[in-house]
Structure 1
Amino acid sequence: MKSLVHPAVIIASILGIFGLVWIALQFSVTIEIEEPLPVNTIPATRSPAPTPTTPAQDAVVPTPNPAATSSGALRMSNQTDQPVRVALLAKRSPNTYTQAPAHWDFAPLEGNEEGLILSLPEGSLTLNKGDIVVAFAQDGSGRYWGPYVVGETPTPVWNSQAQEWQLTLN
């Protein structure tokens, strides 16, 4: 006999994962490792202080990756043979996420070819940098995809022509 997982257990699991992600983001630590200084075999001599320079007129100024700062809709495609739930934890300020994640359910192969634009009950959905997207199989296999951090992880992918984020589950 196949046992089914109650939807409350799934939602509690999703909220628990988002809580762990939130905690990890709040307390993340960056460790920088410095290269060891080379050992001089030549006696040290005093050199004049460097003079400041200004960049040349034709110097290339790096620009940020447009996908890292772009806001747009989310086009979702489930190319798996499993029913999945996609959950979104939207970032609203540098260290604040919305209290309740939004979620959508997809049948196997739903949106397979072109994908489907996701929306909210209140209207359209716009993903912003830092939003977290995760997907879970609903067939009891325990399979999941993500978490994806919009604009920071390789997925979802920014489509500059359509001005939308695209997430394809394989």
Structure 2
Amino acid sequence: MKSLVHPAVIIASVLGILGLVWFALQFSVTIEIEPEPSPVGTIPATRSPTPTPTTPAQSAAPTPMAGTTPGSLRMSNQTDQPVRVALLAKRSPNAYSENPAHWDFTPYEGSTGGLILSLPEGNLTLNKGDIIVAFAQDGSGRYWGPYVVGETPTPVWNSQTQEWQLTLK
């Protein structure tokens, strides 16, 4: 009497291979590269909640500073996306804080005058070399930065208010 084991193994193997081929044909990988978002602009140097027209002097490059002055951070989200802003503070010439801080912004939150950011333990002071990045939280994959305080064009130093200002557009 012949055994039916061999034909069953052959049929199972053929079906398994066909299943793998079908699965491989259904699987695809797509990589899309999006253009970098537009650079971050500046916030007018006013504390009033009403928008003021921007003059060329206000939209110019950051004020050159010797040694880079520490100051608070005024943040404005002028996008239609919820964003998370993260800060990695520089603690020494070759070391950064082990615990980065982050803040979440709804679309257009702080868009006219910006909001001063703080930490749970008190005021936030940015120093030269601190790194700031922002990520859209809507799944679009948009990001802004990284910005290195005192080394990249943004955030911008406002000598009148003694603040760093960062606006996401």
Contact kept in structure 2, 1:89 and 1:102, CA below 8 Å: yes
Structure 1: runs of 5 or more not aligned? 1-63
Structure 2: runs of 5 or more not aligned? 1-62
Q: Which residue of the partner structure matches residue 113 of structure 1? A: 112
Secondary structure of the corresponding residue to residue 102 of structure 2: strand
Contact kept in structure 2, 1:85 and 1:136, CA below 8 Å: yes
Q: Which residue of the partner structure matches residue 127 of structure 1? A: 126
Q: Which residue of the partner structure matches residue 147 of structure 1? A: 146
- Distance 1:68-1:80 versus aligned 2 partners, 3 A rule: farther
Q: Which residue of the partner structure matches residue 84 of structure 1? A: 83
Post-superposition shift, 1:68? 5.1
- Distance 1:142-1:67 versus aligned 2 partners, 3 A rule: farther
Contact kept in structure 2, 1:67 and 1:151, CA below 8 Å: no
Q: Which amino acid aligns with 1:85?
A: R
Give a deviation string over 1:17-58, Cα, whole Å, max 9, x none: xxxxxxxxxxxxxxxxxxxxxxxxxxxxxxxxxxxxxxxxxx
Give me the whole-angstrom Cα distance separating, in 2, the residues matched to 1:116 and 1:130. Answer: 22
Give me the whole-angstrom Cα distance separating, in 2, the residues matched to 1:110 and 1:69. Answer: 28
Q: After superposition, where does 1:1-170 map in structure 2 within 5 Å?
A: 65-66=64-65, 69-170=68-169
Q: With the length of structure 2 as denominator, give the TM-score of the two structures.
A: 0.62
Post-superposition shift, 1:67? 6.7
Report the count of equivalent residues. 107
Q: Which amino acid aligns with 1:169?
A: L
Post-superposition shift, 1:159? 0.2
Give me the whole-angstrom Cα distance separating, in 1, the residues matched to 2:95 and 2:146. Answer: 17
- Distance 1:141-1:130 versus aligned 2 partners, 3 A rule: same
Q: With the length of structure 1 as denominator, give the TM-score of the two structures.
A: 0.61
Give me the whole-angstrom Cα distance separating, in 2, the residues matched to 1:167 and 1:90. Answer: 16
Post-superposition shift, 1:65? 3.1
Contact kept in structure 2, 1:156 and 1:165, CA below 8 Å: yes
Q: Which amino acid aligns with 2:118?
A: S
Contact kept in structure 2, 1:68 and 1:152, CA below 8 Å: no
Give me the whole-angstrom Cα distance separating, in 1, the residues matched to 2:100 and 2:71. Answer: 18
| Pairwise CA RMSD | 1.4
- Distance 1:159-1:165 versus aligned 2 partners, 3 A rule: same
Higher RCO, 1 vs 2 (CA within 8 Å, ≥6 residues apart): 2
